[in-house]
Structure 1
Amino acid sequence: MSNKTLKTFLKNEIILQAILVGLISGLLVVLFKISINSVFNIITKHWFHWYIFPLITTLGGLISGYLVSKYAPEAKGSGIPYVKSSLMHLGNLTRVRSIFVKFFGGIASIGTGMPLGREGPSVQLGAGSGALIGKLFKLSGTNKDKLISAGAGSAIAATFNAPIAGTIFVLEELMQKFSSSILFPVLIATVTASSIARYILGDKTSFQIPEISGTININIFICIIIGVVSGGLGVVFSKLIHKNNSLFQSLKTKPYLKTAIAGLFVGVFGLFVPQVLGSGTNSVDALLVNAIPIALVLVILLLKFLLTPFCFGSGAVGGIFLPMLMIGAYIGYVLGYVSNILGFEVNIVVTSLIGMAAFLSAVARTPITATVMVFEMTGGYNFILYIMLACAIADLTAGKLKHKPIYSELIVNQEKMSSDAKILDSKTVSDVMVKNTETIKQTSSLVETLDKMRNENVDFYPVVDEKNNLIGTIQKEDIEDVLINCGDKPLKIQDIMNSNIITANKDLDLYTLYFRLHSNNCNNAVVVNQSHKVLGTVSRYDIQKVL
């Protein structure tokens, strides 16, 4: 790179900001990981006695819950839903107190053995770093969102030593859209953070898989079975998370006592099955080298499947991302074991990794992230096609069972929301909708419609058919673009209208509608009755005026 090119590169502020975000986020995540592992190793090696270990895990839950309830309620749980909420401008990531509570609360809960993951808290730590740097540079709006996204992606990259997966995670899960303007700083930050993690922790994959020699051939039918089973169990797992959330919310006691209860349960079960403790990376490594008897594998799978939602629902600091990978690995192992008994002769290591990706794909509904993350974390590039197939089947199965992405559901259902989100949650569409909205017929001409929009000073119309049923929407800018590019072609509204409509009934809360609009990168929703007749419209601006 020439000096001139380097100077031009460095003059771009977003590049320097993204590097700074990646640097700080990477260091924070590495320190977080080292701290959790150190506490966990000390406790399990020196205090793993029946008369003290349950007390340690109870104390860890107590400390985590106290820090959250006393100083930063937004730091509870995973962190990914709160980051998504903040990107909708319904949360504040710039509170330094939140970062401290997330950091030390996570050490207290995960470090003492709760079967939760560090990746969710890490994402909030990284996103918080991005938000603070954005505040330092006096950024707002889209520019600030770029750094928040870069921080979140770099946290995933540093946590799993997976920069590509970190980037895709931002696009598929957090932003739910592709944007080159966001991709650029996220890529820079993830590479920076991953480089920091590799320099400090070493250049090795997150899971240590044994060498697989020769050609890998797995019956496609087995991949489909893994996908279907993972999809079904993923839906059950998500329902358990919601049930446990509701259970602990209904308990009329102090928040820190709820997390202490979860810690006590973990301590008791952990005495008998220590493999369920913590995020589970070591137990997955042992699984992949066939060092765990099948009976114990089934017990670990069942306990992890039940204890993770239980602890998460209590409100302790910790995520579900890494536990999902572990549970998926165990599901794949069991199905591979059964397949061998039935005479299919499959490699159990490969089925474990396929299950790992498929289960994550089903619960989070992020098949691309799941595929890339597993092969990047394990170095299993030579069976990526099997992983892709299982992830697609798992996602399809979850969709058929009407399962929504877990992190999106957690945003809508979270107990402690920002003050803005609480306001929106208390209001309904009928409070802000524009009634008696003008509609346009699908057979109307573009020129006539554009003239009408200009005369009435509107940018958007619902489109109806001859029976006045809603069938689409039309934007003024879309008509203008078509008229410029297509000249005098006699086009009708039905030729260019948008058929993917965001609709709402008048009793829907504004928080849910705002989330839908944001997730679909849409500015307007049409209010309809049960007969799909137009009652009015609501825009993002209408909702924001409530705040």
Structure 2
Amino acid sequence: MRLTPRRPSFYRFRQQLADTDAIPQLVLLGLLTGLFTALVTTGFRELITFFTSLYLPTPDYDDFAALEWPLRLLLPLIGVAAIVTLFRLLHDPKHRLGIAHVIERLSLHQGRLPLKPFLLQFFAGVAAIASGHSIGREGPAVHLGAASGSLLGQWLHLPNNSLRVLVACGSAAAISSVFNTPIAGIVFAMEVVVMEYTVAGFIPVMLASVIAAVITRSLYGTEPAFHVPSLTVTTVNELPLIIITGITMGLLAVCFCRLIILFARTNPYPLWLRLTCAALLTGLTAIWLPQVMGIGYGTLSDIMFNNLGFTFLCLLTIGKLCTSAASVGLGVPGGLIGPSLFIGAAAGSTVGSLTNMLGLSATVSGFPAMVGMSAMLGAVLQAPLTALITVLELTRNPGILLPSLIAIIIAWLITSQLFRQQSIFTQMLSADGLDFRHDPVAQALRRAGVASVMSRSLQQLERHCPFEQLHNALKTKPRWLLINNNGKPQSLMPAVELARQLEQLTFDAHYTLVETADLLGIPAKRLEVGAIDIKSTLHEALRRMDQNSLNALYVVSRDRRNGDVITGIITRADIEAWYQVPH
């Protein structure tokens, strides 16, 4: 391997992205990711609409109640046949899709999402949603958006720390596109997916979400995903309802999450068997409750306008909770945010009807459903701010802000403090055998690439080196000398160490003039070294050092024209010094 040759300008663009403050470059990439995500999610949405239009009278509102009951029973099974066929065609052995898959790849694989799961999620998600499974489309959309950003970065050979930002951009753009809620998309990406707020990450994510919203609104209009009534609320008068709703949503969220994990423990069983069980449960429930099928935005609008009776709302809450938990837990490639909103709205409206009958409140139409949606979503995701902003943007009613905030706090306290429940995505990863932990040090080190910290001041020398070459190397005043043994880098020496020893090396023990020096034999401080790719993050570099008991790495750049070239040196001390400085 040789030292770095002269590089074209795009190489410098990549190197700049290794820094945590490469905001102009990330803004450009965020714009491209938002555009790409909007196109992908639009294609996903249109393909679902195309298939549902073949048998539904109003595909925009997934009116499965208009179908005869044998078809409602058969449709999910047809979807399972299509999904299993797609898995076998693409030979995917792990079957990991959706938001949990994105978080896993972000935490354990530096945000590198493969192409095959992306294709599988697209077509299998279409098959699952179009066939009436009790799931949402935001889970597949987030996977598709995150993969769009990641694949763009991988195609451009960008450093891994920038892939994390592109994954966040794609996730935000997906939520913005699906729900027509750009602000909620931003908060969701930072609070649920990346789990950190930084200026360098926030600005590109904002731009990606806005671009996706602009494209979506130009195609589908400015209306939110479902219709809600306008209302005016007096928070003090409705305080009993808000408190009861918060408690109810907290308990329902615990039941929902635990049911999902219970079903997820069937992962050792064959995929076709698990999906068939989910399809049968959904189909059989839909014989009497067809509203549990599909995304359910039409039914959600009916709930908002108080068009459903108390008994039916109770049954609908239980039916949707069980079918959605089974679908998500058994591996149907769909999302759980939509079902969480549905369950929260149905249960909240049920609580509102009950408190009206008991004389505890005289609530207006839609209010308890909106409060229930926010509290349920916040408790399931363990993301209070995401839930609050999502419902605020969906309802476009500032009056819902304070009541929702109270209910979210109550539901969050019940789930996180009383039942010690983590986010549903973290629970799903743990059930899958993955040790997922939020490590602030690792998070900080993942934000920077080795290219932003490494030292480029080095000379590469052979172990047995002529004195003339040593003198020439020291004239360039390098910081490090990388010593090759049999053509392979083996040791790292500070250049000052060689400078101190150079005069004594000219003669051997018998005062005979020697022509070469053995750089591995002289008494000097040396570090054992290993290699690391230039696209790696500081976290990857530190982990490589820990695994191999090293204190230094030489950074390698893969170049098709020039082969592997050494671009710099990074030491454990460099990483520690970077971490101690605020960024």
Gaps of 5+ in 1: 1-9, 425-521, 525-538
Q: Name the aligned partner's letter for residue 297 of structure 2.
A: T
- Any conservation in 1 of the 2:392–2:398 contact (CA below 8 Å)? yes
From 428, 435, 438, give the equivalent of 1:410.
Answer: 428
Residues 294 and 72 of structure 1: CA distance in aligned 2, closer, same or farther (over 3 Å): farther
- Any conservation in 1 of the 2:374–2:391 contact (CA below 8 Å)? yes
Tell me which residue corresponds to 1:50: 69
- Any conservation in 1 of the 2:37–2:170 contact (CA below 8 Å)? yes
Tell me which residue corresponds to 2:204: 185
CA deviation profile, 1:315-352 (whole Å, cap 9, x unmatched): 11101111001000111101111111121212241111
From 363, 373, 386, give the equivalent of 1:369.
Answer: 386
- Any conservation in 1 of the 2:102–2:113 contact (CA below 8 Å)? no
Q: SS of the residue aligned with 1:43? A: coil
How many percent identity over aligned positions?
A: 27
Per-residue deviation, 1:544: 6.2
For the pair 1:313 / 2:332, whether they are aligned, the reply is: no
For the pair 1:386 / 2:386, whether they are aligned, the reply is: no
Q: Name the aligned partner's letter for residue 411 of structure 2.
A: A
Q: Name the aligned partner's letter for residue 380 of structure 2.
A: V
Tell me which residue corresponds to 1:352: 369
Deviates more, 1:233-242 or 1:27-36: 27-36
Q: Report 1:118-157 matches (<5 A).
A: 118-157=137-176
For the pair 1:22 / 2:22, whether they are aligned, the reply is: no
Per-residue deviation, 1:13: 2.8
Q: Distance in 2 between matches of 1:130 and 1:407?
A: 21
From 304, 327, 330, give the equivalent of 2:343.
Answer: 327
Q: Distance in 1 between matches of 2:137 and 2:165?
A: 23
Residues 330 and 18 of structure 1: CA distance in aligned 2, closer, same or farther (over 3 Å): same
From 282, 285, 289, give the equivalent of 1:273.
Answer: 289
From 112, 116, 133, give the equivalent of 1:97.
Answer: 116
Residues 78 and 347 of structure 1: CA distance in aligned 2, closer, same or farther (over 3 Å): farther
Q: Distance in 1 between matches of 2:104 and 2:228?
A: 36
From 252, 256, 264, give the equivalent of 2:272.
Answer: 256
Q: SS of the residue aligned with 2:157? A: coil
Per-residue deviation, 1:313: 2.0
Residues 195 and 178 of structure 1: CA distance in aligned 2, closer, same or farther (over 3 Å): same
- Any conservation in 2 of the 1:134–1:144 contact (CA below 8 Å)? yes
- Any conservation in 1 of the 2:97–2:117 contact (CA below 8 Å)? no
Tell me which residue corresponds to 1:533: none
Q: Distance in 2 between matches of 1:406 and 1:11?
A: 32
CA-based RMSD of the aligned residues comes to 2.9
Q: Distance in 2 between matches of 1:314 and 1:543?
A: 38
- Any conservation in 1 of the 2:305–2:365 contact (CA below 8 Å)? no
- Any conservation in 1 of the 2:256–2:321 contact (CA below 8 Å)? yes
Q: Distance in 2 between matches of 1:17 and 1:115?
A: 35
Q: Distance in 2 between matches of 1:179 and 1:399?
A: 25
Q: Report 1:75-94 matches (<5 A).
A: 76=95, 79-90=98-109, 93-94=112-113
Tell me which residue corresponds to 1:463: none
Per-residue deviation, 1:216: 6.5
Q: Distance in 2 between matches of 1:544 and 1:121?
A: 35
- Any conservation in 1 of the 2:74–2:283 contact (CA below 8 Å)? yes
Q: Name the aligned partner's letter for residue 32 of structure 1.
A: F
Q: Name the aligned partner's letter for residue 28 of structure 1.
A: V
CA deviation profile, 1:396-450 (whole Å, cap 9, x unmatched): 11112111111111122227x7xxx89x9xxxxxxxxxxxxxxxxxxxxxxxxxx
- Any conservation in 1 of the 2:173–2:182 contact (CA below 8 Å)? yes
Q: Distance in 2 between matches of 1:307 and 1:543?
A: 46
Q: Distance in 2 between matches of 1:190 and 1:20?
A: 11
Deviates more, 1:307-316 or 1:119-128: 307-316
Residues 18 and 383 of structure 1: CA distance in aligned 2, closer, same or farther (over 3 Å): same
For the pair 1:243 / 2:262, whether they are aligned, the reply is: yes
Q: Distance in 2 between matches of 1:249 and 1:98?
A: 18
CA deviation profile, 1:155-182 (whole Å, cap 9, x unmatched): 1111111111111111111122211111
Residues 277 and 139 of structure 1: CA distance in aligned 2, closer, same or farther (over 3 Å): same
- Any conservation in 2 of the 1:62–1:257 contact (CA below 8 Å)? no
CA deviation profile, 1:206-244 (whole Å, cap 9, x unmatched): 221122257666422321221111111111111000111
Q: Name the aligned partner's letter for residue 203 of structure 2.
A: F
Q: SS of the residue aligned with 2:54? A: helix
Tell me which residue corresponds to 1:173: 192
Structure exhibiting the larger radius of gyration computed from Cα positions? 2
Per-residue deviation, 1:94: 4.1
Q: Name the aligned partner's letter for residue 288 of structure 1.
A: M
From 198, 216, 222, give the equivalent of 2:217.
Answer: 198
Q: Distance in 1 between matches of 2:238 and 2:51?
A: 43
Tell me which residue corresponds to 2:15: none
Q: What count of residue pairs does the alignment treat as equivalent?
A: 419
Per-residue deviation, 1:16: 2.0
Q: Report 1:277-296 matches (<5 A).
A: 277-296=293-312
Q: Distance in 1 between matches of 2:118 and 2:539?
A: 32
- Any conservation in 2 of the 1:65–1:257 contact (CA below 8 Å)? no
Residues 52 and 219 of structure 1: CA distance in aligned 2, closer, same or farther (over 3 Å): closer
From 27, 40, 43, give the equivalent of 1:31.
Answer: 43
Residues 131 and 182 of structure 1: CA distance in aligned 2, closer, same or farther (over 3 Å): same
- Any conservation in 2 of the 1:83–1:93 contact (CA below 8 Å)? no
Per-residue deviation, 1:286: 1.0
Q: SS of the residue aligned with 1:113? A: coil
- Any conservation in 2 of the 1:77–1:318 contact (CA below 8 Å)? no
Q: Name the aligned partner's letter for residue 29 of structure 2.
A: Q
Tell me which residue corresponds to 1:428: none
Q: Distance in 2 between matches of 1:403 and 1:133?
A: 35
Gaps of 5+ in 2: 1-21, 58-63, 438-537, 550-583
Q: Distance in 2 between matches of 1:274 and 1:294?
A: 17
- Any conservation in 2 of the 1:74–1:98 contact (CA below 8 Å)? no
Q: In proportion to residue count, which structure has more helix?
A: 1
Deviates more, 1:325-334 or 1:87-96: 87-96
Q: Distance in 1 between matches of 2:108 and 2:221?
A: 37
CA deviation profile, 1:255-313 (whole Å, cap 9, x unmatched): 12321332233223223211111121111001111222222111111110101111112
- Any conservation in 2 of the 1:83–1:124 contact (CA below 8 Å)? yes
Residues 315 and 143 of structure 1: CA distance in aligned 2, closer, same or farther (over 3 Å): same
